[in-house]
Structure 1
Amino acid sequence: MNSLPEANLKFAIDTYHKLREEHPHDNLLFAPVNATSALGLLAMASGHEQAAKIEKVLHWDEVKECDTSRNRRYLEAVESIGLISARVKVGMEKFELSSPDNLHPLSDFFPSVQKFISNALNLYRTDVEGINLKNAPEEVRGIINHWVEAQTQDKIKDLLLEDSFDCHAQLLQLNALYLKGQWKVKFNKDLTVEAPFYSHYAAKNDCQTVQLMNRNGIYNTATFDVGDTEVQVLEIPFKDNELSLYVMLPTDSGPEALKQLEDSLTHEHLLDWASHLKPELVDLFIPKFSLEKKFYLNQYLDLHDLSDPKKADFSQATTTEGVTLTQLVHDAFLEINEEGCEEVEDPRLCRDRRSHRKALEFMVDHPFLYFVHHKCTQSIILFGKFSKPE
């Protein structure tokens, strides 16, 4: 493996597979870059062995070394993911994107290491903010939730659910992302109609519908074989071409085709597909949707030792022994609608229309996978599955 973005891509696919195992029929959504940043911060807080375990989950140990020193490689990885997160946040100022990330020591009885606090801010743009529970965990929960709501334009509410932690909690890692982008070319709202969505998971005779958006235009697209199934891939760029939504749609609408795609999907597929798409005249139909998902990532990523008082080691963040991670809370919110820039006539579209070339139909009326890609850093901002309307 040659680069950190490739490692992050591999981590994204790994995490998707783990979430899918636990939620095979559900809509899924998570933010790989944010999750990587959160885990990188925890690795920086950890002693050597614990940091190595987290690094393995992130596939940082597979990135080719330019130095024989593990510490040098680790520092470069930490600095790189910090820069990726910073570039994403700076580049997204023209979008509605919020990414609140905080590490909360939930007590004032253990002192933090000042070097760790400085590195968290400088490398990850993350605050380490101590909060004294004072036997009032629900009051603290309200304070944290209010802060997250304010950071996400009131989109992400109740990040921490009732009774999320008690007065014995020690360390909370909060990680959230909200994205509402504007397309490079908007969809015409007058063409959006209610239409059937053929979910594999609906009750028998339950006809589900979505608000189906439509646009005829030039899109990068291609068809690929994955395992024994055929998959249509299409890129929908957001304005200024910094972000794109990639849709992965099995041509067969049956459940086995989607399962085959999920079972066979690797990070190499995503790397290969993005470079082999070609511009085509497309008649695109895609659901309008808004989706939020919350996961406690420490339960999915084989990092249970971080919550074990006999095994956890946060010696790079605090001088107190026995400190454990109470929760790693990860929340992602994505809003997809018609909004975007006014259409500027594409010369390729004029040429295709003059030649009476028939548009390729891309009908997203059954379950599909998708991801949001940040081109500058070659990073996946969001990854998910749309299984059914919510």
Structure 2
Amino acid sequence: VEMMENVSKYRYANVPNLDAQVVEIPYADGRLSMVMMLPNREGLHSLQTLFRDLSYSPLASTLASLRETELLLQIPKFSIESKLNLRPTLEALGIKDIFGFDANLSGILAGKSAQIGSVLHDAKIEVNEQGTVAAAVTGISVIPLMGSTMDTFRADRPFLFAIVDQSTGSMIFAGRVVQPTWAAPSPLG
């Protein structure tokens, strides 16, 4: 996996109750951002613990703890796609009538008889220099010299990420990267 790196100001914190580093990377439109959560310890167990701890710690309080910080950000390029058939889930929730011959879809299809055969959900996210982090970059790669006290967010082990709506604090998309591996970095921007 090719890594990208940049030094810039990001909202960042090492969050003790999650035992993880959290960084928020804004999108160009200013409405959305990517939040990345990196466990302080390596391994899948740490990722599972972080996922569990997030269920007890509201995302809004985690985001409120972030402070603008000059940060060396090193993240992998990645692309994730998920395809789900939601019909079994909807049926388990009691939504069954729309799939049968007696489905009443007259509000959608005026005067026509129809039923829904399937409900498919397809989600994809791609993170690269042109996409997710483009709003937060300067186009110059600056690497701190040895002895620098600059904070570093280096996602070279399993981490969680979420796309968040800034105005509502709602998670729009979430996922995990389980096997990032280090390769020569390229500058963001």
TM-score normalised by the shorter chain: which range applies? 0.7 to 0.9
In structure 2, the residue matched to 1:332 is: 123
Give TM-score scaled by structure 1 length.
0.38
* Pairing of 1:213-252 with structure 2 (within 5 A): 213-226=4-17, 230-252=19-41
1:270 Cα deviation from its structure 2 partner: 0.6
In structure 2, the residue matched to 1:343 is: 138
1:382 Cα deviation from its structure 2 partner: 2.0
In structure 2, the residue matched to 1:273 is: 62
1:278 Cα deviation from its structure 2 partner: 0.8
**Larger RCO: Structure 1 or Structure 2 (Cα < 8 Å, ≥ 6 residues apart)?**
2
How many residue pairs get aligned? The number is 168
TM-superposition CA deviations, 1:282-307 (whole Å, max 9, x none): 21110011222111123335336426
1:370 Cα deviation from its structure 2 partner: 0.8
Distance in 2 between the 1:275 and 1:233 partners?
Answer: 11
Give TM-score scaled by structure 2 length.
0.72
TM-superposition CA deviations, 1:54-93 (whole Å, max 9, x none): xxxxxxxxxxxxxxxxxxxxxxxxxxxxxxxxxxxxxxxx
Structure number with greater Rg is 1
AA in 2 matched with 1:262: F
Q: Structure 1: which 5+ residue stretches go unaligned?
A: 1-209, 346-352
RMSD: 3.2
Distance in 2 between the 1:334 and 1:292 partners?
Answer: 7
| Residues 1:297 and 2:81 are matched in the alignment | no
1:262 Cα deviation from its structure 2 partner: 1.8
AA in 1 matched with 2:50: L
Q: Percent identity?
A: 30
Match of 1:363 among 135, 142, 154: 154
Task: Give the 3-state SS of the residue equivalent to 2:19 in structure 1.
Answer: strand
Verify the 8 A CA contact 2:100 2:116 in the aligned structure 1.
no
AA in 1 matched with 2:4: M
In structure 1, the residue matched to 2:71 is: 282
* Pairing of 1:310-321 with structure 2 (within 5 A): 314=105, 316-317=107-108
Higher normalized helix content (fraction of residues): 1
Distance in 2 between the 1:285 and 1:332 partners?
Answer: 25
In structure 2, the CA distance between the partners of 1:278 and 1:311, relative to structure 1 (3 Å rule), is farther
Verify the 8 A CA contact 1:305 1:311 in the aligned structure 2.
no
AA in 1 matched with 2:80: L
